[in-house]
Amino acid sequence: MIANVVLFAIGLVSFVIGVLLVRYRKGVAKANAEANRSFFGELGERVANNSTPFYAAMVGMVASLIGLFVMIAAFFYHQH
């Protein structure tokens, strides 16, 4: 029973983080690009150019789907 609650909580957190990533994808992409530039110099500049809102949204959607699957699995998981 406790395993189911823990699984559901982990899935819920993953789902919420994913939704927030999709919702705030522009700000996340901008912050990620700035962090890459400041931490990694010239290499970070090339990486920062690839940090777009599209990729932030894709990561958010994957996190949401994983969270959804984990929450569903929590209902069907039976510990013997």
Other beta carbons within 10 Å of 63:
20
Q: Is residue 34 part of a domain?
A: yes
Q: What is the pLDDT of residues 3-57, one digit of tens each?
A: 889 999 999 999 999 999 999 999 999 999 999 999 988 888 888 988 999 999 9
Q: What is the pLDDT of residues 9-23, one digit of tens each?
A: 999 999 999 999 999
- Residue 77 gets the label, from left (phi > 0), alpha (psi -120 to 50) or beta, of beta
Overall number of domains in the chain: 1
Q: Is residue 80 part of a domain?
A: no
Q: Is residue 65 part of a domain?
A: yes
Question: How many Å apart are CA 76 and CA 57, to the nearest integer?
Answer: 29
In this prediction the pTM is: 0.84
Q: Is residue 78 part of a domain?
A: no
Q: Is residue 79 part of a domain?
A: no
